[in-house]
Structure formats: C-alpha cells, structure tokens
C-alpha cells in the first residue's frame, strides 16, 4: 500500500533538495579542478552536503546504474545492521525481501531512466529480520544525463499520525529551506515567486513581500531567453543549469549559476526550486586567467620582435608590464655594492634616473640575487608597514624580481602602485611567473646590448691589450690632422717596433709573448698624455699620436718611451729585456696627409732599426728628415 500523497510529496521535496545539493557539489568539484579556485567555498559546500547526506536521520544510499552501492550514510548502515565498508559494491537486491524485489526493481529502473519513484517495500537486515519501509528513489543528473540513483528509506513504524507528521515535515523543510546558506527560490508553474529563503534576501534579491511576481523580472533582459528555456525544461521534469545575470534590489547585476529542480505533486510538476550560486568572482578569475595567457603571449611576441633598438625595447617592455599588471610605475635598477642606482623609470613617479638609494632602504634587499619574486599586496599590512622602503617611497603594492645578466645579478625590475591589491587582484603565482619572464627578457636584452658593444670594441680595439687597433688609429689620426689643420698646430706620429720580440715567442711560446705585450702596452699607456692616442697596430708594433706637438713634448715622450723599456719585463718567473726602434714623423713638416705621414714614420722606424749600433738603451730614435 502506498503512503499518503502529502507524506510522499514532502519526502520528494527533501529528496529534490538533496539531488540539487549533489549537483552543486559535482559542479563545484569540476570548477575547483579546472580553475584551481574556490577551495574555501568548496569546503563550505561539502560541509553543507555532509549535513544533508551523511548526517541525515533517514537512510540514504547512492547506487550506480546497475544497482551496486556506491555510498550509504550512517543511518543506512545502522538501519540494515552493517559496519562501514561491508555494503560497498553490493547490489540493492541483497537487502530486499523476495516478495518486494519485483516492485523495487521496477522502481529502480524507472529512476535510472530519469523518473522519481516512491513506494513501500520490505528490507532484510544483516540478521535476516524484515523491515517495512517508505522508500523514494530518484535520478542523480549531471549535464542532463542520469549518472546514478539516490534512494531514501524510513521505517514505517516510526511514522506518526499523518497530521502531526505532516506538520513536523513541513517545519523541518521550512527550516532546511530558510536556513540554507545557498540562495533558494521556489517558483510556481508560471515562473512566479512562491517564496525565497533568507540567503536570497541577503544576496539582495526579491523578498517574501513580492510573492507572485515573475522571477524573470529580476533577470537581465539579455538572459531572458536562457531563463525561459531552462524553465520550460524543468517543467518537463529535467534538471537544467543556466548562468544568468540576476539583478539585485540596488540595480547591480550579478552573474549566478542557477540550478533548477522540478517540484512534483501527485505525479505532476507543480513548479520549480532554483538554487543560485554567485559565480561573478569565478568569472572575474577566469577572465583574469585569459588576460594572463594573453599577456604572456604578447610578452613572448615582444621578446621575439626584431628591429627595436635597445632603449626602445627596454621602455616598451616596462610599459607593457605597467599595463598588464595595472601598476603606476616601473623601475629598472643597478645594484652597485651598498647602493641601488635607478637606471630607468617609466610611469607616474618623481624619482629621477640616476638617483642612488641605500640598498637597505629598498625592497631590492628582499630578493636581489635570488630567484624569488617579491610580491607585496599591501605595504601597510603586517611587518611591511614599518619597513624603511615603505616609509619613504609610499608605494602600497610592489612586484619585484632580479635581473640576471650573463649569470650575474645586475639589478632589479619592479612594478609599484599607490593602491593595495585585494581579493581577486592579489598577486598570485601567475603574476610571479609573468614577472620572471619579464625580468629574463630585460636581462636578455641587456646581454645582447653588451654583445653589440663588445663587437664594436672588437672592430676598433685590440682584443689582447684593449688599446685602439689599426682601424681606430687611422681614424684618430685623420681627425687629429683635420683639427691641427684648422688650428695651425703640429701632430707628431711615433711608430714603435719592439726589438727581438719574435725571439721571445720562439723561445718561450706565445703565452709568454702575450704577457710581454700586455706589460709593454701598460707601460706605454702610462707615459703618454691624456690627450694623446696610443694604439697597437701590429704584432709587435705600436703607434702614438701626439696632438699639439712641440719640440719639447716630442723630446719628453722619446725619453719616457726609453725609460718605460729600461727595465726587463717579468713574465712567468722570467726576466725578459725588451728594446724598441722608434720612428717619428711630424705634420705638417714631414707630410700633409695621413697616408704620407704614416709612410714617413714607418720608414724612419725601419731606417733606425737597420742602422742602430746598440740595444742597451732599450730604445733608439730617428727623426725623419724627409
């Protein structure tokens, strides 16, 4: 015999809420897995689900579509006399009396096909005793498909007289509905409000006072078609979910996930329950994730961009970071010992380029020289409030990382803002990854700039001695002759060839020879004036361009070159005497153009080398008389 319709209807209502809670639980798990967010809300929802399922006084069990037990709550285990784990995987037929198996199996199959069924059946507990129960079986639906069956059962002996029992159930349902933390709405068959719970009112939705108003009046016009489609489906017995923009009393539109469940009375659908979940923050987070992915792609494209000059690329990267992070300013610094030098700054700041700041008064000290990305959401929170860097700079949020150049910490790049970051805008690991990539891009650009400068140096400077090479020397001589022509001045050109240097290489090897050349270059560099140019123009050949030359300055430099080579050169525990032959040509007396002046100095040097009679002076000199 079936129970009265009112008792069954109340049981179905409670079951519908349980199914809705499970659907919300499933969706929350999916969101938590896919987005990695909402952990706190998930835990709260899991706790509420546990209160409905695990702690329910009614026996509740879930079965797969073949009828095998997936989970039973404590009441179900106690009802049948089994210990936890003993029933797992058993078929429902093992605890149904033979005389009830056909009716129960038919109800289970209909539930597996999407129908909610109620019946009186007979259980057999672990000791073989028979128990008459009031049972309800309903589908568990996900994405429009039945994935399992949920069953509830209550001992008929515990059912009190109908009037009192109905009142108790009604009160219990009211407490469950009104006290539930999830915003809930009950709609009639026309989509009008019957009632809403306190959580919906706290959300800022319609109140109890507006009964019989259409729910669609509180939904954004753009979502009305979606709402009407979902409502039509629920009135057909489905359990649709839709994302709708629900309008609060204050006019604010909030993104909500709405889960619809049909209300079944006398086997007819009388209306719908709607459970609402605020997903605006999730949407914001999802949007932020998309923006992060986009900015990563743009940053990588910026890194691959060609044709940008060094300064332009650095500034473009800095401005891109400001835009992507929503910061006010960006700084690139060079850490030099105990000082931090501001090399570049972009954005809203009065800090000048070139400013030196004590290392201990900057946020750089917290991360410089490490792979750590310093992320401060609010410098007025925690220990940061008293930090010396907070005290004078006044920034409220900071993101900072080390710039590495050729494996060595060079300085830092930081993005600062005068606004704190809160809620979804707090710095997270994606921001830190973005910062690491941006700092690496800046470091790579700096390395390329260094390489370009080195290539330039290789084109104009001798790689061994770092003195100007022959090309640089020739250009310097042309400039000096041009200047001397305008000012009616003299230029003296000294050509110096080391005597016996080939023998050093032959006797001791090129390693020793290079050390000798380095020392000779150092000595020569120490005897010329700051306005003069000394260059290495060949293997063992050097040249000096003396501007504004006079007889006195020429004589003085001749003497200093001789003195520079008067003492032997020490190399690898060897004492090696070095001499030199020097030829001098004077502009404009000896020649009036660059090529001729070089020829005259070179000829004078070789003439002296051929005619020298001794080496002991360390250097001999012959002034060209051409």
Q: Return the CATH number at 61.
A: 3.30.450.20
* Predicted pLDDT at 625: 36
- Looking at the structure, do residues 379 and 476 belong to the same domain, yes or no? no
Write down the residue that tokens 């020649």 correspond to. Answer: 591
What is the DSSP pairing of strand 253-265 with strand 241-247?
antiparallel
- Looking at the structure, do residues 365 and 481 belong to the same domain, yes or no? no
* Predicted pLDDT at 154: 87
Cα distances from 366 to residues 318, 341, 398, 401, 407, in angstroms, run: 21, 16, 12, 10, 19
SS3 507: helix
Positions in the chain whose pLDDT score sits under 70? 1-52, 159-169, 205-212, 281-308, 386, 389-393, 424, 457, 612-626
Provide the number of structural domains found in the chain. Answer: 4
Q: Cα separation of 490 and 554, whole Å?
A: 11
* Predicted pLDDT at 328: 92
Q: Cα separation of 12 and 151, whole Å?
A: 11
Contact between 523 and 564 (Cβ < 8 Å) = yes
184: closest CA among 48, 49, 276? 276
- Looking at the structure, do residues 124 and 192 belong to the same domain, yes or no? no
Q: Cα separation of 122 and 128, whole Å?
A: 12
* Predicted pLDDT at 564: 93
Strand runs labelled E in 125-164: 130-142, 145-155
In a domain? residue 382:
yes
- Looking at the structure, do residues 398 and 515 belong to the same domain, yes or no? no
* Predicted pLDDT at 210: 64
In a domain? residue 402:
yes
Specify the pTM. 0.41
3 state SS for 438-472: HHHHHHHHHHHHHHHHHHHHHHHECCCCCCECHHH
Q: CA angle 573-574-577, nearest 5°?
A: 150
* Predicted pLDDT at 373: 95
- Looking at the structure, do residues 404 and 486 belong to the same domain, yes or no? no
In a domain? residue 201:
yes
Residue 406 burial by Cβ neighbours in a 10 Å radius (0-12, 13-18, 19+)? exposed
Q: Cα separation of 271 and 234, whole Å?
A: 8
Which of 115, 135, 163 marks a domain boundary? 163
Q: Which domain holds residue 321?
A: 291-455
The DSSP secondary-structure symbol of 83 reads -
- Looking at the structure, do residues 484 and 429 belong to the same domain, yes or no? no
Residue 180 structure tokens: 């539930």
Contact between 122 and 100 (Cβ < 8 Å) = yes
Q: In CATH, what number is assigned to the domain containing residue 607?
A: 3.30.70.270
Q: CA angle 129-133-135, nearest 5°?
A: 135
Contact between 172 and 215 (Cβ < 8 Å) = no
In a domain? residue 169:
no
In a domain? residue 231:
yes
- Looking at the structure, do residues 493 and 575 belong to the same domain, yes or no? yes
- Looking at the structure, do residues 549 and 587 belong to the same domain, yes or no? yes
Which of 455, 483, 505 marks a domain boundary? 455
In a domain? residue 461:
no
- Looking at the structure, do residues 392 and 418 belong to the same domain, yes or no? yes
261: closest CA among 231, 227, 234, 226? 234
- Looking at the structure, do residues 492 and 613 belong to the same domain, yes or no? yes
- Looking at the structure, do residues 429 and 485 belong to the same domain, yes or no? no
196: closest CA among 132, 255, 258, 139? 258
In a domain? residue 174:
no
Euclidean distance between the first and the last CA atom of the chain, given in angstroms as a whole number: 137
In a domain? residue 286:
no
- Looking at the structure, do residues 266 and 313 belong to the same domain, yes or no? no
Which of 111, 136, 163 marks a domain boundary? 163
């Amino acid at each position: 015999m079936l129970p009265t319709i009112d008792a069954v209807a109340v049981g179905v209502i409670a079951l519908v809420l349980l199914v809705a809670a499970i659907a919300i639980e499933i969706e929350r798990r999916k969101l938590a897995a896919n987005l990695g967010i909402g952990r706190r809300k998930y835990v709260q929802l899991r706790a509420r689900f546990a209160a409905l399922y695990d702690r329910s006084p009614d026996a509740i069990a879930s079965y797969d579509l073949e009828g095998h037990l997936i989970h039973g709550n404590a009441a179900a285990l106690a009802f049948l006399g089994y210990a936890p784990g003993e029933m797992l995987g058993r078929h429902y037929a093992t605890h149904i009396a033979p005389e009830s198996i056909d009716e129960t199996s038919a109800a289970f199959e209909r539930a597996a096909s999407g129908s909610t069924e109620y019946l009186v059946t007979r259980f057999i507990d672990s000791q073989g005793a028979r128990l008459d129960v009031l049972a309800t079986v309903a589908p568990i639906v996900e994405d429009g498909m039945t994935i399992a069956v949920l069953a509830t059962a209550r001992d008929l002996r515990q059912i009190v007289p109908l009037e009192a029992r109905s009142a108790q159930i009604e009160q219990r349902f009211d407490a469950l509905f009104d006290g539930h933390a999830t915003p809930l709405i009950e709609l009639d068959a026309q989509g009008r409000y019957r009632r809403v719970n306190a959580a919906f009112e706290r959300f800022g939705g319609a109140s109890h006072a507006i009964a019989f108003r259409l729910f669609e009046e509180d939904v954004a016009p753009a979502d009305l078609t979606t709402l009407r489609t979902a409502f039509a489906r629920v009135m057909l017995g489905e359990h649709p979910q839709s994302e709708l923009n629900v309008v609060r009393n204050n006019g604010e539109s909030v993104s909500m996930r709405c889960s619809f469940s049909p209300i079944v009375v006398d086997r007819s659908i009388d209306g719908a329950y709607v459970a609402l979940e605020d997903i605006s923050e999730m949407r914001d987070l999802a949007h932020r994730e998309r923006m992060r992915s986009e900015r990563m792609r743009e940053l990588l494209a910026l890194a691959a961009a060609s044709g940008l000059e060094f300064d332009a690329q650095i500034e473009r990267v800095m401005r891109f970071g400001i835009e992507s992070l929503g910061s006010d300013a960006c700084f690139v610094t060079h850490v030099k010992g105990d000082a931090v030098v501001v090399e570049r700054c972009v954005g809203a700041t009065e800090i000048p380029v070139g400013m030196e700041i004590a290392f201990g008064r900057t946020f750089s000290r917290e991360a410089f020289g490490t792979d750590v990305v310093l992320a401060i959401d609010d410098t007025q929170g925690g220990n940061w409030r008293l930090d010396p860097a907070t005290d004078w700079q006044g920034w409220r949020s900071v993101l900072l990382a080390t710039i590495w150049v050729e494996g060595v910490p060079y300085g830092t790049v930081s993005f600062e803002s005068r606004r704190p970051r809160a809620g979804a805008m707090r710095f997270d690991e994606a921001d830190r990854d973005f910062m690491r990539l941006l700092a690496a891009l800046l470091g790579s650009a700096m390395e390329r700039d260094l390489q370009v400068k080195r290539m330039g140096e290789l084109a104009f400077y001798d790689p061994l001695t770092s003195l100007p090479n022959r090309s640089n020397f020739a250009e310097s001589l042309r400039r000096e002759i041009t200047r001397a022509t305008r000012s009616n001045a003299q230029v003296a050109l000294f050509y110096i060839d080391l005597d016996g240097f080939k023998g050093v290489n032959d006797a001791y090897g090129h390693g020793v020879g290079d050390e000798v050349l380095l020392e000779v270059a150092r000595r020569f560099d120490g005897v010329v004036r700051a306005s003069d140019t000394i260059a290495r123009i060949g293997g063992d050949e050097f040249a000096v361009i003396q501007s504004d030359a006079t007889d006195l300055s020429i004589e003085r430099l001749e003497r200093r070159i001789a003195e520079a080579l008067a003492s032997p050169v020490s190399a690898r525990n060897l004492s090696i005497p070095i001499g030199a032959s020097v030829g001098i040509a004077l502009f404009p007396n000896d020649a009036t153009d660059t090529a001729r002046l070089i020829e005259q100095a070179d000829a004078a040097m070789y003439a002296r080398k051929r005619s020298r009679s001794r080496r002991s002076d360390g250097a001999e000199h012959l002034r060209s008389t051409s």
